Structure 1
Amino acid sequence: MKHERYDMLATQSIRKLIFKLSTPAIIGLLVQAFYNLVDTIFVGRGLGDDSALGIAGISIAFPIQMLMMAIAMGIGIGGASVISRTLGMGDSDKAERTLANMVTLVIISSVVFTVLGLLFIDPLLRLFGASESVLPFAKEYTKYILMGTIFFTFSAAMSNAIRAEGHAKFAMAVMLVSSVVNIVLDPIFIFEFNMGIMGAAVATVISQMIGAVMIIHYYRGSINMVAFKPEYMALDPVLSQEIVSIGMSEFIFNSVESLVFILLNQSLLVYGGDMAIAVFGIIIKVFMIFLMPIIGIKHGILPIFGFNYGANDFGRVREAVSLSNYIAFGMCVISVLIIFLIPEQIFRVFSSDAELLAMGVPAIKISFLMMPFIGSQIVATALLQSMGKSKQALVVTLSRQVFFLPPLVLVLPLFMGVTGIWLSFPVSDFLGFVVAVVLMKKEVNKLGVTKIKAIDA
């Protein structure tokens, strides 16, 4: 089985390989995004007159979840890049040492994050935009989410390592099982046990624990291509630096996302109040549903890029870049069409509040205008990360989130009110696309076609 997965990454047709590795990731990520969506739906439906405050509370907590994701993806993407390239070079020992160091990094960072988060939870939530009316809902949800940090980061980070060795279906199974458990437990805890917003958080943590157990089972079995060896868990300074360096763009991307959420929530509170924060909470959950297929493509192409780049088969890398860009663009176009066809129906799933609908429908249309240009940014980041080009990947990441979006959020509302905040998203999407295409094209042009291997159609 190990030899088959090696041959698959080296010789199978790129089109077939993208489909095979991306589809499980897309399914798993969609289900995962759906259970985050379900949290918001059940809270909106379960809190009656306080539905908008509950949705706003979850939105306020989202930056903390983004920081958790930053840890997981920084370690996961960085480690996966090293593993896929070392497998391409035939260095299984370094792949095993990388895996063990990833586990150690996850444990240390998760414990530190949980302790600091719980110690400073009130000032953090106020910083993230919680008004006095929203703070109790945000705190009740966030404190339980923080307790589950280690389970979430372990599952998310190590799923990337599993994908790096070509076993995308198991990584999908982890997301599917944990997501289904969360979806089943949500209504039980929220309605049957009358736990309200706390029930949504507890259900999420339990589902993350199950995902972590599945990962442990995978590495205790015999189906893995990279073995977990506890004796390699002592941090190797050079190797851990390589993992962190490559994953830094992903870490900063998600960390900056969290900081941008602080700016957005504070701006929304000023220009639109708690209702605007609730609208934004719904928009971001819907956006994540449509973004997950593109992230799934990224998970699928990372091992293809990394393995074939490590094996010096640049022709396959170039082909994978071209195909993945077309696929990502098509998916993004479909997302925009859906948003413009049924915006009101989407909002009614969460709440029938008239004020929420009046503000939300035009807001979601404006926010999604330039969605088709996001796909190339994600493909560019995947390519640069898999090649070990951490600085260039970081530039792509920061262009939209740091260079463009925050200034727009600060300036446009001065002239257009809350509409200016919604308009900041499509403008920054397009500008980020320009930067990504320039850097991606530059690196692709450097790849000389050294050999074309036999294609397994």
Structure 2
Amino acid sequence: MINERYEMLASEDIKKLIFKMSSPAIVGLLVQAFYNLVDTIFVGRGLGADSALGIAGISVAFPVQMLMMGIAMGVGIGGASIISRSLGMNDHHKAERTLGNMVTLVVISSIIFTILGLVFIDPILKVFGASESILPFAREYTKYILMGTIFFAFSAALSNTIRAEGHAKYAMFIMLFSSIVNIILDPLFIFEFNMGIMGAAVATVISQVIGCVMVVHYYSSNISMLSFKPQYMMPDLALSYETLSIGMSEFIFNSVESLVFILLNQSLLVYGGDMAIAVFGIIIKVFMLTLMPIIGIKHGIQPIIGFNYGASNFERVRETVSISNYIVFGMCTLSVIAVFLIPEQIFRVFSSDAGLIDMGVPAIKISFLMMPFIGSQVVAMALLQSLGKSKGSLMITLSRQIFFLPPLVFILPLFMGLTGIWVSFPISDFLGFVVAVILMKKEVNKLVVPTTQE
């Protein structure tokens, strides 16, 4: 089995390999994004007259979830990059040490995050844009989500290492099964048990616990190429630094997303009120659903790039990057077409509130204008992270999220009002694309295929 995975990563046709490695991740991530949508849909439908406030409450809580994702993906992608390259170099010892060290990093960071989040929950939510009317809904949802941080972070982080071994289908099954559980429990808790927005949060946490248990089963069985050894859980400062430096761009990406939410939600309150925050919450959920297939491609190509880079098969790395860029461009373009064809129907799925729909239709069209250019940014980050180039991937993150989007969100509404906030997204998406392409080409040009000596 292990030799088969080595052979697959080293020599299988790249198009087939990308499909084989990415499709399980895409399916799992789509289902995961769908259950996030389901949370919002059931809350919107279950709160009646308060549907807009419930949706706004989940929207305000979303940055907290982004920070949780940042912890998981910062450790997960950094560790997976090391594991992929270590396996490519036949260094099982380092791969197993990395796995144990990742568990320690996830547990410590999750406990700290949960304690701080629960202690300062109200101030945090107010900073993220919760008005007095939104705060009770946001608080009720967020406090339970925080309690599940360690389960979510553990399963999300180690799913990356499962994919790094070339076992993408098992990682997909974890996401698929836990997400289906969430989708089943949502209406049960919200409607049958009359738990409202709290029911959506509790259902989410239970599904995360199940995902965590499935990851533990994977590493305690004979399925994995690696053995989980408790002695490797002792903190290794050098390995922790390497893991976090590679995954730092992913952590910063999610952290900066949360900080940008502060500016966005505060601006939305000023220029559009609670209704604008609810609209933005729906747009973000739809955006995440359309982005998940692109993230799935990223998850699929990272072990291919990392393994072949470690094995000095540079031509396969170049081919993987090239084919992936074409794939993600096509996928992003299809999502834009869908948004432009049925924008009103998209909003009606969440709520029948006429004001919400009227504000939301033009907003989502503007926000998605430059979606086709987002795909290459994701591929560029996958390449740089897989090669261990943390500074380059960090630059891609900072360019859109710090250098471009916040100034636009601050300046454009002064002249265009609420529309200026929506316009900020496509402009920053395109500028971020320019930066990503420059950095990606620079690294690809360095991958010179060694000539055979006669």
Q: Same fold (TM over 0.5)?
A: yes
Shift of residue 262, structure 1, vs aligned partner: 1.1
Shift of residue 451, structure 1, vs aligned partner: 6.8
Amino acid at match of 1:120: F
Shift of residue 227, structure 1, vs aligned partner: 1.3
> In 2, distance between residues paired with 1:302 and 1:226?
18
Deviations 1:3-47 (A, max 9, x none): 111111011111111000000000000000000000000000000
How do residues 333-412 of structure 1 correspond to structure 2 at under 5 angstroms?
333-412=333-412
Question: Residues 201 and 47 from structure 1, CA distance in 2 versus in 1: closer, same or farther, beyond 3 angstroms?
Answer: same
Sequence identity (%) = 79
How do residues 58-207 of structure 1 correspond to structure 2 at under 5 angstroms?
58-207=58-207
> In 1, distance between residues paired with 2:3 and 2:382?
25
Q: What secondary structure is seen at the aligned counterpart in 1 of 2:166?
A: coil
* Corresponding residue for residue 445 of structure 1: 445
> In 2, distance between residues paired with 1:262 and 1:78?
27
Amino acid at match of 1:344: E
Shift of residue 450, structure 1, vs aligned partner: 2.3
Deviations 1:154-201 (A, max 9, x none): 010000010000000000000001000000000000000000000000
> In 1, distance between residues paired with 2:141 and 2:424?
29
Deviations 1:112-169 (A, max 9, x none): 0000000000000000000000000000000000000000000100000100000000
> In 1, distance between residues paired with 2:122 and 2:293?
35
Q: 2:46 matched to 1:46?
A: yes
> In 2, distance between residues paired with 1:227 and 1:330?
39
Shift of residue 377, structure 1, vs aligned partner: 0.2
> In 1, distance between residues paired with 2:343 and 2:450?
49
* Greater mean alpha carbon deviation, residues 82-91 or residues 222-231: 222-231
> In 1, distance between residues paired with 2:296 and 2:167?
14
The root-mean-square deviation of aligned C-alpha atoms, in Å, is: 0.7
The size of the alignment, in residue pairs, is 452
> In 1, distance between residues paired with 2:223 and 2:120?
42
Deviations 1:203-240 (A, max 9, x none): 00000000000000000100101111111100111111
Q: What secondary structure is seen at the aligned counterpart in 2 of 1:222?
A: coil
> In 2, distance between residues paired with 1:404 and 1:371?
16
> In 1, distance between residues paired with 2:109 and 2:3?
34
* Corresponding residue for residue 245 of structure 2: 245
Deviations 1:69-100 (A, max 9, x none): 00000000000000000000000000000000
* Corresponding residue for residue 420 of structure 2: 420
List gaps (5 residues or longer) in structure 1.
453-457
Question: Residues 12 and 451 from structure 1, CA distance in 2 versus in 1: closer, same or farther, beyond 3 angstroms?
Answer: farther
Contact 1:83 1:98 in 2 (8 A): yes
Amino acid at match of 2:416: M
Amino acid at match of 2:161: A
* Corresponding residue for residue 289 of structure 2: 289
* Corresponding residue for residue 229 of structure 1: 229
> In 2, distance between residues paired with 1:361 and 1:367?
10
Q: What secondary structure is seen at the aligned counterpart in 2 of 1:223?
A: coil
Q: Structure 1 length as normaliser, TM-score?
A: 0.98
> In 2, distance between residues paired with 1:270 and 1:151?
36
How do residues 22-33 of structure 1 correspond to structure 2 at under 5 angstroms?
22-33=22-33
> In 2, distance between residues paired with 1:207 and 1:445?
44
Q: Which runs of 4+ in 1 moved over 6 A?
A: none
Contact 1:314 1:451 in 2 (8 A): no
Contact 1:315 1:450 in 2 (8 A): no
Q: 2:452 matched to 1:434?
A: no
> In 1, distance between residues paired with 2:163 and 2:428?
31
Amino acid at match of 1:189: F
Deviations 1:277-312 (A, max 9, x none): 000000000000000000000000000110000111
> In 2, distance between residues paired with 1:325 and 1:277?
33
* Corresponding residue for residue 329 of structure 1: 329
> In 2, distance between residues paired with 1:132 and 1:450?
63
> In 1, distance between residues paired with 2:413 and 2:399?
21
* Corresponding residue for residue 455 of structure 1: none
List gaps (5 residues or longer) in structure 2.
none
Q: What secondary structure is seen at the aligned counterpart in 1 of 2:225?
A: coil
* Corresponding residue for residue 21 of structure 1: 21
Amino acid at match of 2:99: L
Q: What secondary structure is seen at the aligned counterpart in 2 of 1:194?
A: coil
> In 2, distance between residues paired with 1:283 and 1:230?
43
Amino acid at match of 2:60: I
> In 2, distance between residues paired with 1:44 and 1:71?
29
Contact 1:315 1:451 in 2 (8 A): no
